Amino acid sequence: MEDGNNNENPYSQVPFGKPMRDAHFLFSEGYTNLNQGSYSTPPRLGQTPESSHDDDEEEEEEEEEEEEGQEEDQEEMSTSFYLVRILSGSERSNDCHHMAEGEPDQFIRYTYPELLRRSRALLAEILHCPVDELVLCPNVTTATNTVLHNLQWEGGDKIIYTSGVYGALEKTIEYIVESTPAESVKVDLDLPRSDDDIVQLFRDTLRREKRGCETKNDHDNGPDPKPHGGGRGRVRIAVFDTIVSMPGLRMPFERLIQACRDEGVLSLVDAAHGIGHIPLNLSELDPDFLVTNCHKWLFVPRSVAAFFVATRNQHLIRTTLPTSHGFSPRDRGDGSDIFDPMPASAETNPMVRQFEYFGTIDGAPYCCIDAALRFRDQVCGGEAAIRDYCTALARQAEQTLVRVLGTQSFGIPESHRVFFAHVRLPIQVGAAKGEVPPSDVPAVTQFMNREFVQTYRTFLYLLFYKGAWWARLSVTVYVDLKDCEFAAQVLRDLSERVRRGEYRHGHPNPK
C-alpha cells in the first residue's frame, strides 16, 4: 500500500476501508470508529462474497417469508440477536439467538453444549492446541482472575509481572497481594526497547527473586524455622503480554515463555490482542496459561475469550469464576451429593466440563466462531491479506499523525509493528502560559475522552506516559487513510482547545 489509496482486496469483491465498512459493518451514520482494539465491532456475520451487503432480492424475499418479517426489525435488535448466524449442513442460516429465545431450555441444556464444542474445536485448530486444553469464557479479565484466584498462595510466594500489563490485571494482582500472603514484583520495561533488553530484564528479575526466595527458605530452615506458609516462598507465576495495549507493540512473548520454563516459573500470557492479530501456535509456545479475546480482532461479537490451560496445569483450576454446577467438591464424608439441575455433560475432561456452564449468559456470541472465520476467509481474503493491509496502514497512519501534529511517534521498531499507530499530542505540562498544570492532567484526560465521543463522534485511546499525552489509533479492515487523516485533525483541534484551557470551562462545541 504505497500511496494510501490502494485498498483493493484481490480476494474479495469489497475493498478494505470505507467500502468494507459500508458493506459489512453497523456503525451509525457519521461515526468513525478508530478504537477496535478496546471494545471492537463485529461485522454482519454469515455473509460471503456471494451474499454481501446487498443480498440478492430473491434470497431476501425467501428469507423474509421464512423468518416472518424478522429482517425488518434487525436495526432495532441487539448485536448478538442478528449477528450470530450459523450455517448448517444445508447452508440455511439460523439465528442462534432466535433459537435460544424460542426454546430456552432446549437451547441452553442440549443445543448450546454441542455448538460450544464446535467453536472450541475451530479455535483449537487455529491456535494449534488440543481441544481439551481450550475453554471459552467472557474475556481476558475473567480468565486471568480465574488463574490467580485458583492458585494456593503461601507466605513469600511471588507474582512477577511486566509494566504495561492491562490495568484491570494489575489491580487483580494487587488484590491477590492484599488478600493472600503473596507478594508482587513489577518488571519496569520502560517501553519501547529492544527484545534482547526486555528478555534480559525479565530473566534477571526471575533469577534475582528466585535467589531471594532460596535465601529466605535457607534462613527459615535454620534452628527455629517458621511455620508452613509463614515466610517460605517461591517465584510462582509470571504475567506478561503478547501485545502491550499502550504503547501498542509486540512483546517477545515467545522468549519470555521460554525463560519461565527454564526457571521453573508458571507463565500466564495475556494475549488480549492475539488471535486475529498475530499468529499463535500454542503447541510450539507451550505456555502454562494463555487467554486471547476473540471479540477484539477476530470479529466475533462481544464478548468471548479463548482460555488455554495446559493439561499439566488443569488440576490447579479447581473452579470457574463464578463457581457453578460444574464444580466437583471434595468428598464431604456424609455420602451426600449437591443437586445439579443441568443434564449430564458429554465432556469427559473435568475442567472443560466446568466451563461448559458457569452461570446463565448470552451464549450466542460463543456460537459464531464459524461465521467469523468464514467472514475473514471469504470476505477479507484470509489472515495474510488482513495482516498485510493493517500493518501497512498503521505505518502510514503514524506518519500522517506525526506530520499533522508536528510531534513524534514512540519510535517502535518495525519488528514490533502491529495494528496500532501512535502520536504524542502537542500539549505541554508545566506552569507557563498555554501549558497544563500537572495537577490538571486527570481532568484534561477526561475532557478529551468525553469530547472524542460527544463532539467528534470517534474515539482514540489516550495514555499520559513519560510526561506527555499519547494517542493510539486502531487500524482494521474498515479503516482507511482518510479516517487516519480525520483522526489527525481531531487531535490537532482538541489539543488547541486544551491549550486554551477549555477543559476548565466545560466543553463548548468548537464548530
Cell of 500: 486554551
pLDDT at 292: 98
pLDDT at 8: 62
pLDDT at 92: 26
pLDDT at 510 over 80: no
Among 173-177, 227-231, 366-370, whose mean pLDDT is lowest? 227-231
Is 208 part of a structural domain of the chain?
A: yes
Q: What is the mean pLDDT of residues 61-90?
A: 42
Task: Find out whether 310 and 289 touch, Cβ atoms under 8 Å.
Answer: yes
Which residues are CB-neighbours of 509 under 8 A, at least 6 positions away?
A: 455
- 429: exposed, middle or buried (Cβ count in 10 Å: 0-12, 13-18, 19+): middle
The residues facing 187 across adjacent strands are 162
Q: What is the mean pLDDT of residues 105-116?
A: 94
Looking at the structure, tell me whether residues 174 and 236 fall in a common domain.
yes
The residues facing 472 across adjacent strands are 422, 461
Is 297 part of a structural domain of the chain?
A: yes
Q: What is the mean pLDDT of residues 345-371?
A: 93
pLDDT at 66 over 90: no
Task: Find out whether 119 and 112 touch, Cβ atoms under 8 Å.
Answer: no
Average pLDDT over all residues of the chain: 87
Domain ranges, residue 397: 383-504
| For the chain, percent of residues with pLDDT exceeding 70 | 83
Whether residue 104 is preceded by a cis peptide bond, meaning omega within 30 degrees of 0, is no
Looking at the structure, tell me whether residues 252 and 317 fall in a common domain.
yes
Looking at the structure, tell me whether residues 388 and 369 fall in a common domain.
no
Q: Sorting pLDDT into bands at 50, 70 and 90, what band is 321?
A: very high
First to last CA, the chain: 34
pLDDT at 229 over 70: no
Q: Sorting pLDDT into bands at 50, 70 and 90, what band is 86?
A: very low
Is 472 part of a structural domain of the chain?
A: yes
Q: What is the mean pLDDT of residues 168-192?
A: 97
Task: Kindly report the CATH number assigned to the domain that includes residue 145.
Answer: 3.40.640.10
**pLDDT tens-digit map of 405-424:** 999 999 888 888 999 999 99
DSSP tag of 264: T
Q: What is the mean pLDDT of residues 362-372?
A: 91
Task: Kindly report the CATH number assigned to the domain that includes residue 499.
Answer: 3.90.1150.170
Q: What is the mean pLDDT of residues 275-282?
A: 97
Q: Sorting pLDDT into bands at 50, 70 and 90, what band is 96?
A: confident
**Within 10 Å of residue 305's Cβ, how many Cβ atoms?**
25
Torsion angle, alpha carbons of 425, 430, 432, 437, to 10: 90
